[in-house]
A = this chain, B = another copy of it.
Amino acid sequence: MFSVYDWLELTSLGELVFVGLGLDNEEGISLHGLDEAKTADKIFVELYTSIMPSLSLDRLEKLCGRNLILLQRKDVEELNGKALFDTAQNGKVVLLVPGDPLVATTHNILRTEAAKRDIATRVVHGASAISAIVGLSGLHCYKFGKIVTIPFPTETSAETPYRVIAENKKLGAHTLCLLDIEVESKRYLSVAEGLQALLDIEQKRRRKVVDLDSLAVVVARAGSNDAFIKADFVRDLFRVDFGKPPFSILFPNRLHFTEAEALIVLASAPQQIRSLIE
């Protein structure tokens, strides 16, 4: 059976354009992205997949020259993106997303759903926190294994990040651990909590994956003008004040000499880390 609804879908002239907001504040958007927003019939913005600490919705609206519709998680996850798709059937919808839009799995699901409705989709990429953190750390991006998040201890244990670090270590790869964020309540896992969660598992497993003598690099506020990078042994990182979130912790494996040099000069790592040069 071929319904009017099918016909409407097949002849959709609309499109849904995902535009990355990049990092930190409204000025992280690209010229291309802003241009897409300015020519949209409706602009939605979501701020539930990630936090942009210095973003002002007012300033973003001024840049775009029109009202922004704030999308809630339930609009996508419960109402299946209806608000977006209703307009995108016949018009141009821009969805503004923190960072690089498709890093959040949920937006690839939305992209799939749009395509099923015969709505064209395009993506204007933005700077991603993951790429920024890896770059700022001074470590080589080709040497990273799987990325992992250290969750709040109340929710699940740190068994998964511990296992991922162990697996990467076996392959000689570095690990990037993102620290969990509860976007709605702006609750963050601290660096000390993240480290302690891993040490607690080490205590049980004793596999020498992360201990007090492990080298780690903390990157705070990647993408902002006061990004902070500090490399040190775990025991000494407990004493550092990293300022405001968001935070990430990187566990390097054997180092290239330019990585060791970068950690010493840019992240004030102790000279002893030279012993980790491969």
Contacts and interface: CB of A to CB of B under 8 A. Distances in A.
Nearest to A144: B146
B266 A111 contact: yes
A125 interface: yes
Interface string A7-51: 000000000000010111111111110110000000000000000
Given A148-B142, A258-B108, A123 B135 contact: yes
B171 A146 contact: yes
Interface stretch (A88-96, A97-105, A185-193, A204-212): A97-105
* Count of identical protomers in the assembly: 2
A128 interface: yes
B100 A131 contact: yes
Contacts of A25: 32
Chain A interface SS verdict (over half): helix
Contacts of A134: 102-103
Interface residues of A, number: 61
Interface of A: 20, 22-32, 34-35, 63, 100-103, 105, 108-109, 111-112, 115-116, 122-123, 125-128, 130-132, 134-136, 138, 140-149, 167, 171, 173, 222-223, 225, 227, 258, 261-262, 265-266
